[in-house]
């Protein structure tokens, strides 16, 4: 999904920056071949996430991510089970041990 969305980005600087994150990925999840991901994506859509966002969240959950970072308010409200959905600031605070508000 990230590759698909990134290919649509009209800004080369942003596109190249996003593409470079792939170098740090420990796993690449293909959502089109997995019914578990698609079913979870449907559940996230029922929570109000848009289709692409729901697929991102479902892929992260399937990959076993501890948390998903976003600045999207709909994402931040999503119930993702054991996976935390955090803003980058909340993540930094959590990692620094100042997670009182989370």
Q: Is 67 part of any domain?
A: yes
Q: Is 89 part of any domain?
A: yes
What is the C-alpha end-to-end distance of the chain, expressed in Å? Answer: 28
Phi first, then psi, for residue 68 (nearest 5°) are -125, 130
DSSP character for 24? Answer: G
Q: Is 102 part of any domain?
A: no
pLDDT of residue 24: 78
Q: What is the pLDDT along the chain (102 residues), one digit of tens a residue?
A: 777 777 888 888 888 888 887 777 777 787 666 688 999 999 999 999 999 889 889 989 998 999 998 888 888 888 898 999 999 999 998 888 765 555
How many domains does one find in the chain? 1
Q: Is 19 part of any domain?
A: yes
Q: Is 71 part of any domain?
A: yes
Q: Is 25 part of any domain?
A: yes
């Amino acid at each position: 999904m990230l590759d698909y969305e990134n290919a649509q980005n009209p800004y080369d600087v942003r596109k190249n920056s996003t593409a470079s994150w792939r170098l740090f990925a420990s796993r690449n999840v293909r959502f089109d071949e997995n019914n578990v991901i698609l079913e979870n994506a449907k559940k996230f859509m029922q929570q109000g996430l848009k289709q692409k966002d729901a697929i991102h969240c479902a892929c992260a959950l399937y990959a076993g991510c501890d948390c998903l970072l976003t600045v999207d308010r709909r994402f931040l409200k999503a119930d993702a089970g054991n996976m935390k959905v955090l803003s980058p600031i909340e993540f930094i605070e959590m990692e620094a041990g100042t997670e009182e508000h989370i």
